[in-house]
Amino acid sequence: MPAQQILFVKLSSLGDVIHHLPAVTDLARHRPGARMCWAVEEAYADLVRLHPAVAESIPVGLRSLRRHPLQAERWRRLAAARRALRSRRWDYIVDTQGLLKSALVASAAPGRRYGLDGASAREAIAAMLYDERIAVPRELHAVERNRRLVAAVFGYEVEGPADYGLELPPYPPLWAPRRRFAVMLHAASRAEKQWPDDKWVELARRLSQHGYATVFPGGTEAERVAAARLALLVPGAIAAPPMDLWAAATLLAHADFVVGVDTGLTHLAVALEKTTIGIYRATDPALTGLHGESGLNLDGRGREPTVDEVIAVLAP
């Protein structure tokens, strides 16, 4: 009997993609013979393949097309994604994102489409494009919403803690410290999510007194400039060189622990089972905070989390 063909659609962003991983793990346990594919933004295609149950990722370059709408290569890559989506008839197409753009991607694939109902989806109009619509409480954490939706589609109950299921990269980057080290994810997409520089410096200096080197990564050039500025103020600290997502995963996987603001890499650290402290200043960690046994959220909405609080949680 041929394996069931299952297509997940969860395009972006990094945190949202990571939040879907436990649902993949759940389904792999309940449908061990199924072949799971994942339509995802190009930047995250390598990441989702770190999950052993994902047989194939289909890169969908909507973001790059939006940035470069006149480049023919971007349109060719999008056409290739459409051909991959239409290359077979899917037994199940499950959109766990609940946005109009993800529903449109799902609608390009032949098969029965499942998604959130209008009251549960982030964009209610998306529900109009599904064949079956499922209610999931909005007050749940995003990880549990994904798990509930997939469990409802396939007829099983969600059980146990979230398991992200990633295979850990075997080696750290060659430039990583050769002693105990912590990763400081200081950069955020919005200023209100950031933690002040003086607190990052104080935390890194105090950790160095306990024998830890610190690494400050940065995704954009401006973030790497900020990382270099922070590293210069801390003995033995390193400003990470430019990294792709795979290299960032190898760094996080081999750190002793991670401290970060509300950003996708902080969620990735939890998915890689690293002790991770999340500093939340502008968003509600009950809905989108770190979710897993290795993650702990410091809810700083309306106040500034202190270095003492971080140190107390880490207890190095």
The least confident of 162-171, 234-243, 271-280 is 162-171
Q: Is the pLDDT of residue 210 over 70?
A: yes
Q: Cα(274)–Cα(268) distance, rounded to whole angstroms?
A: 9
Which secondary-structure segment (H or E) carries 73? helix 72-85
**For residue 196, what are the domain limits?**
181-314
10 Å CB burial of residue 90 (0-12, 13-18, 19+) is: buried
Q: Is the pLDDT of residue 145 over 90?
A: yes
Q: What is the CATH number of the domain that holds 145?
A: 3.40.50.2000
Position 109 scores a pLDDT of: 98
- Alpha-carbon separation of residue 131 from 5, 11, 95, 104 (angstroms): 17, 20, 11, 13
Q: How far apart are the first and last CA of the chain?
A: 53
Q: Cα(45)–Cα(59) distance, rounded to whole angstroms?
A: 6
Written as six digits, the tokens of 280 are: 């939340």
Helix 245-253 crosses helix 264-271 at what angle (to 10 degrees)? 50
- Counting residues of the chain whose pLDDT is more than 90, the rounded percentage is 86
Q: Is the pLDDT of residue 1 over 70?
A: no
β-partners of residue 295 are: 276
What's the pLDDT tens digit per position in 68-98?
888 899 999 999 999 999 999 999 999 999 9
The domain tally of the chain equals 2
Position 35 scores a pLDDT of: 97
Q: Cα(193)–Cα(29) distance, rounded to whole angstroms?
A: 36
Q: End of a domain among 105, 137, 154? A: 154
Q: Cα(95)–Cα(126) distance, rounded to whole angstroms?
A: 10
Mean pLDDT of 213-231: 96
CB atoms within 10 A of CB 163: 17
| Closest C-alpha among 268, 261, 274, 264 to residue 310 | 261
pLDDT band at 289 (very low <50, low <70, confident <90, very high): very high
Q: Is the pLDDT of residue 54 over 70?
A: yes
What's the pLDDT tens digit per position in 227-263?
999 999 999 999 999 999 999 999 999 999 999 999 9
Same domain, 192 and 136: no
β-partners of residue 40 are: 59
- Counting residues of the chain whose pLDDT is more than 70, the rounded percentage is 99
**Is residue 228 assigned to a domain?**
yes
Q: Cα(203)–Cα(306) distance, rounded to whole angstroms?
A: 9
β-partners of residue 57 are: 38
**Predicted model pTM:** 0.94
Same domain, 102 and 196: no
pLDDT band at 199 (very low <50, low <70, confident <90, very high): very high
Same domain, 148 and 243: no
**Is residue 173 assigned to a domain?**
no
10 Å CB burial of residue 83 (0-12, 13-18, 19+) is: exposed
Q: Is the pLDDT of residue 316 over 60?
A: no
Same domain, 127 and 204: no
| Residue 233 phi, psi dihedral angles, 5° rounding | -95, 0
Same domain, 147 and 185: no
**Is residue 234 assigned to a domain?**
yes
